[in-house]
Copies of this chain bind each other. A is one copy, B any other.
């Protein structure tokens, strides 16, 4: 039985979502894993959010661990649905691994306003979390606490690839290393 990886991320919203899902599942197979890719865009479920939700939760319960595309989505942080799923899997005691095509720490993703003193804030006065982590501390710490790792890697061509294939490949290597170590 292959180890099952739940492949979460905003990939389902990308123009070529189906092809991305196929490619990532193929990369999983080549690494000896089975990739479970959410079915947001499966025709049979496409118009039924309750069915998509139930299917995604069932896949998460089946999975041995989670691999999360945490590349920023419509803002400086990870997609909310992906963050929800990370919390879900973490709460169920599964290791969670992250990857992102944006290698900057969160505090460099949000432009600060200049202030004489005090913590960094954005133009709306909102605090810019500044722990040197890539995103909100709950997401970052869950990865570390669960035994997972974050693979943060800008794309080789310097453009941000929202599917983050380079970082995904690195993340699969990290999962393989984790499993080898655990098996020892």
A residues engaging B (CB < 8 A)?
10, 12-15, 17, 40-41, 49-50, 52-53, 56, 73-81, 83-92, 110, 121-122, 124-127, 129, 131, 133, 135-142, 144-145, 162
Contacts and interface: CB of A to CB of B under 8 A. Distances in A.
Contacts of A136: 79-81, 84
Contacts of A138: 53, 56, 80-81, 84-85
A145 B53 contact: yes
Contact of A81 (B53, B83, B126, B162): B83
A86 B125 CA distance: 25
A110 B74 contact: yes
Query: Which of A15, A49, A83, A89 counts the most B-chain CB atoms under 10 A from its CB?
Result: A83
Nearest to A136: B81
Contacts of A89: 87, 91
Given A49-B140, A88-B90, A141-B53, A127 B81 contact: no
